[in-house]
C-alpha cells in the first residue's frame, strides 16, 4: 500500500470513528467507564477487606505473643522478642499498603496485599511455633523431674500447635521439609516418653532444635522482606 492509499484509509477510519461517536458511541464509552469504575471499586473493597482480615490476625497474634511473654520461658525469650518486633513493623507495612490502595494500579495493589498477607500468615505460624517451643521446653522440665505423663501432655500440645502452624500457612509450601522434620522429632520424643526410654530429655531437646531451625527460617525471611520494603520506600521519590 502506497502513502496516498494509507492516508486515505486512516482518514476514512477517523471519519468512521467520529460518526460512531456522534451516533451514540460517546454514551457507550461513558457507560463502559462507569461499569469499569464500579468493578474497580468492588475489587478495592475486597482488597481492603483482606487488609482488615490481616490486621485482625496480627492483633490476635500480638495478644498471643504477649501472653506467652508473660510466661517468662527463658528458652524462647529472644525469639519472642524478635517476633514482637517483626509484628510491629508488619503492622506499619499493612497501614502503608492500605493507604496506598486507592492511589496505586489495581494489579500492583493486589500484589502488595497478597505479599503482605503471606507475611502475616508466616508471622502467625511463628506464633504457634513459639507456643510449641514453650510446650517442648516445659516437657523437658517435667521429664527431668520424672513427671512423664505431664511431659507427654506438653508434647501432645506441641504437636497440635505444629499442625496449627502448618495449617495457617495454607498453600505456602516453602517450609514443608522443616515442618516434616519437627513432626518426626515430636513423634520420636513422644514414643520415648511412653517407653520411658533413657534418652527422653535428648529426644525432646532435638524437638527444640528442629523447631528453632524452622522459626529461624521464618525469622530470616521476614527480616529480608521487611528490609526490602524499607529500601523500596527510601527509593520512592
Give dist(CA 131, CA 203) in Å, integer.
Answer: 18
- Model pLDDT for residues 71-85, shown as the tens digit of each residue: 878 889 999 999 999
149 CB neighbour count, 10 Å cutoff? 10
| Pair 87, 62: CB distance under 8 Å | yes
Res. 27: pLDDT tops 80 = no
| Pair 189, 207: CB distance under 8 Å | yes
pLDDT of residue 110: 76
pLDDT of residue 96: 86
Between 108 and 134, where is the model more confident? 134
Give dist(CA 214, CA 212) in Å, integer.
Answer: 5
C-alpha grid cell, residue 82: 524478635
Q: Which of 153, 154, 175 is nearest to 166 (CA)?
A: 175
Give dist(CA 237, CA 228) in Å, integer.
Answer: 16
- Model pLDDT for residues 159-214, shown as the tens digit of each residue: 999 999 999 999 999 999 999 999 999 999 999 999 999 999 999 999 999 999 99
Res. 87: pLDDT tops 70 = yes
C-alpha grid cell, residue 67: 501472653
Between 216 and 233, where is the model more confident? 216
Amino acid at each position: 500500500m502506497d502513502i496516498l492509499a494509507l492516508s486515505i484509509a486512516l482518514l476514512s477510519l477517523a471519519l468512521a470513528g467520529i460518526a460512531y461517536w456522534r451516533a451514540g458511541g460517546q454514551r457507550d464509552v461513558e457507560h463502559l467507564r462507569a461499569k469499569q469504575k464500579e468493578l474497580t471499586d468492588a475489587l478495592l473493597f475486597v482488597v481492603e477487606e483482606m487488609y482488615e482480615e490481616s490486621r485482625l490476625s496480627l492483633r490476635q497474634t500480638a495478644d498471643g505473643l504477649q501472653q506467652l511473654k508473660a510466661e517468662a520461658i527463658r528458652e524462647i525469650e529472644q525469639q519472642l522478642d524478635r517476633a514482637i518486633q517483626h509484628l510491629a513493623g508488619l503492622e506499619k507495612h499493612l497501614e502503608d499498603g492500605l493507604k496506598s490502595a486507592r492511589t496505586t494500579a489495581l494489579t500492583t495493589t493486589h500484589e502488595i496485599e497478597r505479599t503482605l498477607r503471606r507475611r502475616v500468615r508466616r508471622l502467625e505460624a511463628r506464633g504457634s511455633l513459639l507456643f510449641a517451643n514453650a510446650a517442648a521446653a516445659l516437657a523437658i522440665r517435667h521429664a527431668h523431674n520424672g513427671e512423664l505423663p505431664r511431659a507427654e501432655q506438653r508434647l501432645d500440645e506441641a504437636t497440635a500447635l505444629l499442625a496449627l502452624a502448618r495449617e495457617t500457612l495454607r498453600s505456602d509450601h516453602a517450609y514443608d521439609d522443616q515442618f516434616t522434620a519437627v513432626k518426626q522429632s515430636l513423634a520420636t520424643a513422644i514414643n520415648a516418653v511412653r517407653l520411658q526410654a533413657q534418652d527422653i530429655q535428648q529426644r525432646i531437646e532435638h524437638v527444640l532444635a528442629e523447631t528453632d531451625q524452622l522459626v529461624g527460617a521464618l525469622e530470616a525471611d521476614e527480616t529480608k522482606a521487611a528490609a526490602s520494603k524499607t529500601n523500596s520506600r527510601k527509593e520512592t521519590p
